[in-house]
Structure 1
Amino acid sequence: MNQYNVISLSLNRIPNNCTSYRQYIERIESRLKRDLIHSFPAADICEQDALWDILTDIYAQENSAKFIFILDEWDYIFHRDFVTEEDKASYIDFLSNLLKDQPYVSLAYMTGILPIAKYSSGSELNMFAEYTMAAEELYSEYFGFTEKEVDVLFEKYLQNEPNSQVTREGLRIWYDGYHTKSGERVYNPRSVVLALTNNNLGNYWTSSGPYDEIYYYVQHNIAAVQDDLVQMISGIPVPAKISEYAATSMRLSTKEEIFSAMVVYGFLTYENGCVSIPNKELMDRFNEMLMKEQSLGYIYQLAQKSEKMLAATLAGDTDTMTEILEYAHNTESPLLSYSSEAELTMIVNLVYLQARDRYRKAKPV
């Protein structure tokens, strides 16, 4: 503490009415230059110089002054509509010139969703060591709340909330489901905090995008993913080959790329070679998609019958129940797996989709 100068940049901040990469990067450069001039008034700084030249001059004139760089959401700009391929290359060059082999850099710490190697085609940013929850065990516990951390938070919640409405099992059902490389269970931290703060189990998902983004990934290759989607909504994991480097936003053409993106962005979890929907919070989002999107074809049609199926069940109307099950079975199941137990499980789960909002499935005794 107090050993280094620290430059902290939130790279998801853009100028007002920003329509170009040039506006974006000029805001960063001008504001940082202004801060450096203010912080080092004795240094001979030319504001027209490149940012890295200014920092080099400060290092030379201020007794080898070194800096720690903390850059949050470094890859944010890659997902903006106004950014061209040339802009992306310029941005990589900017980061390389600023950080690579510079004497004033003591440490550079960057956070982002996708790996550096996805964007850096050469050696521009090869000085970084990258750590992800799925690929590296080191630091993986810090990507979310572990079981022990949730236990501690829940005990504090019970001590401070006389009318507690949240249960420990409820937190597990709603927000657990992610896994580190070593297999440790990890909870969505934002959702756990808000559930305990609000004294209410609910859907607080905002970390990687809303419902529309979930549908975007599925929409790009419905024919290849819709059957797997039904399995996952039925609680059955789906074998998949996941590559973080394939998960480039807005460029998804294969099932593997779609699932890779959904894992990286947190919509799915990956364990033992399979992808699945991690918890109730995300399951509700997928259920919502099935009930709304007509382009999902027969899946949408079957989901629409779930309200009628629930009503028929509660009324004891076995004729209607049989009719719906036969329709679902004949619509969804291919001939060769017509009597498969897994197929039948998926069908029953799909036609009872609406029941999930009102009932909990009992555990076997």
Structure 2
Amino acid sequence: MDWTPLPVGVENFREMIEKGYYYVDKTLLIKDLIDLKGKVNLFTRPRRFGKTLNMSMLRYFFEKTEEDRSSLFAGTKIMAAGEKYLREMGRYPVIALSLKSMKQGSYEEAFHCLKEEIAGEYKKHREIIEKLDTEDDREKYELFMNRAADEKEYLTSLKFLSECLYSCYGTGTVILVDEYDVPLENSYFRGFYEKMTDLIRSIFESAFKTNDTLEFAVVTGCLRISKESIFTGLNNLKIISILSESYNEHFGFTGREVHEMLKYYGIQDNEDVVRKWYDGYLFGNTEVYNPWSVINYVDSSYQNKNAFAKPYWSNTSSNSIVRTLVEKADISVRQEIEALIEGKTITKPIHEDITYDEMDSTQDNLWNFLFFTGYLKKISEHMEGETLYVEMAIPNAEVRYIYKNTVLRWFEEKTDKKELTPLYESILNGDRAKMAEILSQNLMETISFYDYQESYYHGFLAGMLKNIGSYIVLSNRESGNGRPDILLKYPSVRGKAVIIEIKVADTYRDLEKKCDEALRQIEEQKYEEALRQEGYSDILKYGVAFYRKECMVK
């Protein structure tokens, strides 16, 4: 069988079909939109869950054009859904806008990208200029097309284009806005959030609220930004979030779709691995896989059908929301993060009407952001009075990897800023009690994941020692190869050398026993002998035992 290419990064529906990529059929989204007749439909899903490809599909289906596009949909589910739906194909003028490019360093740069996007849509419909009723409208149209309109004119630019299209074709306009919240999130972290909010709100209000020529609209993003903030007064807004019961199979891959894909590529034996790493999301009551990661994993099997699973999704974003959670975590939140990484659950009040500037105003808001952006999944839900509570867990191994890596990077940066001279002095002076006290204090400030066992504590201690100054730090993460866990050596043999062996206790009472075991290993493995052969005579030996956030040194 010839290899069918996987659509890694392919977001254009025509390219997907015409170039023969493997396509997971999501065309019944069209049927649901027609049946449910939402006027303004806001879909919120995590990033890389197929939103942009679906928006491209909607454009190619609904867009009025002289071209017959039915061949693009040949063999898809919508073509078998009935004549009622096929009559809608190619019926409406479509305005399709992506705000993804507005992720810029300043408001002015972001606004420039918006002008480029809008100019592109005006150029796409340039054939209507001669059909416009007045010279003023024709001049205004050309100003938008040439990016020369006055700044305030852009607030009503989508509405004006929609009115122009209606006047020429006599049918309502379909407006598609993809990644609407990208400029909002970016402006929050960059410091011009209020100005960007005002801009997006004004554009949406004119395009969706006061626009009699609107047939229907679809807006996508990762988050619903508070109705009062962006969607002011939009009584016709229908929000389809990950908690909603409708449209659930249209974003992300279902278990059946993943099974069929793995079988098609002859790697169905890897289904358990794919489930462990990329499954676990719950949209409404439908369990879905991360499509971006599944596609990348299957693509990696081209050369090796037993390819290892990797965290593909984590590399597509800065994961800044997880970072914010970790940085602002107090003791109770650190314990909750540890519980999540261990595979346990937490229960929090969930509400969708949040804004970016409220993200870290309370800890509960931060959990909300993590939930709606795909870093947590729903296990169960219940109402207490008027508040919805959701029991949540980390969805899968891939997302757990993100938490662990974020925690490790945060700890490394925090350690770089710490004054650890007292720790270094206690090690070099043989003060075991002080050494244990300082290590225990620092463990209390960290976020642990105990499935790492000894390697976690090894990384913790090696990180604490990396700035010890004149000493060479040799860290040996692999056990059983005849070398100590951590070795400190002064560059000259006239200085000191320090041997550190690490053990993990099952209970607090076992700490001393584990310290003795570590010291016994140092003697039995003759770690000291190699140092003496090098010429070192002043050698310190430590057995260090850990139990959760407690440390003992002998």
Give the TM-score range, shorter chain: 0.7 to 0.9
Q: Which residue of 1 aligns with 2:211?
A: 102
Which residue of the other structure, out of 255, 267, 285, is the alignment partner of 2:375?
267
1:30 aligns with 2:119: yes
Distance 2:319 2:163 in 1: 46
Report the structure number with the largest CA radius of gyration: 2
1:64 aligns with 2:212: no
- Considering fraction of residues, name the structure with more strand: 2
Q: Which residue of 2 aligns with 1:181?
A: 284
Distance 2:510 2:199 in 1: 53
- Quote how far apart the aligned CAs of 1:180 are: 2.4
Q: Which residue of 1 aligns with 2:271?
A: 168
Report the CA distance shift for 1:327/1:42 in structure 2 as closer, same or farther (over 3 A): farther
Match of 1:142, SS?
coil
Kept after mapping to 2: 8 A contact 1:247/1:257? no
Q: Which residue of 1 aligns with 2:331?
A: 223
- What does the per-residue CA deviation read over 1:171-203, in whole Å, with 9 as the maximum and x for residues that have no partner? 111011111222x32111110111011113211
> What code does the residue aligned with 2:138 have?
C
Relative to structure 2, which stretch is displaced further, 261-270 or 244-253?
244-253
Scaled by the length of structure 2, the TM-score of the pair is 0.52
Residue pairs, 1:1-365, within 5 angstroms: 1-14=89-102, 19-20=107-108, 22-44=111-133, 45-48=137-140, 50=153, 51=157, 52-60=159-167, 62-79=168-185, 80=187, 81=190, 83-118=192-227, 120=229, 123-133=232-242, 135-158=243-266, 164=267, 167-182=270-285, 184-199=286-301, 200=307, 201-206=309-314, 209-246=317-354, 248=356, 251-272=359-380, 273-294=390-411, 295=414, 297-298=442-443, 300=446, 306-307=454-455, 321=503, 326=508
Q: Which residue of 2 aligns with 1:357?
A: none
Q: Which runs of 5+ in 1 are unaligned?
A: 159-163, 331-346, 352-365
Report the CA distance shift for 1:327/1:174 in structure 2 as closer, same or farther (over 3 A): farther
- Quote how far apart the aligned CAs of 1:136 are: 0.8
Report the CA distance shift for 1:125/1:24 in structure 2 as closer, same or farther (over 3 A): farther
Match of 1:143, SS?
coil
Scaled by the length of structure 1, the TM-score of the pair is 0.75
Kept after mapping to 2: 8 A contact 1:10/1:72? yes
- Quote how far apart the aligned CAs of 1:107 are: 1.3
> What code does the residue aligned with 1:321 have?
K
Kept after mapping to 2: 8 A contact 1:132/1:140? no
Report the CA distance shift for 1:157/1:302 in structure 2 as closer, same or farther (over 3 A): same
- Quote how far apart the aligned CAs of 1:93 are: 1.4
Relative to structure 2, which stretch is displaced further, 143-152 or 49-58?
49-58
Report the CA distance shift for 1:39/1:284 in structure 2 as closer, same or farther (over 3 A): same
Report the CA distance shift for 1:5/1:283 in structure 2 as closer, same or farther (over 3 A): same
Match of 1:307, SS?
helix
- Quote how far apart the aligned CAs of 1:250 are: 7.4
Q: Which runs of 5+ in 2 are unaligned?
A: 1-88, 142-152, 302-306, 381-389, 416-441, 459-476, 485-500, 513-545
Distance 1:63 1:312 in 2: 71
Kept after mapping to 2: 8 A contact 1:208/1:266? no
Distance 2:549 2:298 in 1: 31
> What code does the residue aligned with 2:322 have?
I
How many residues are matched? 326
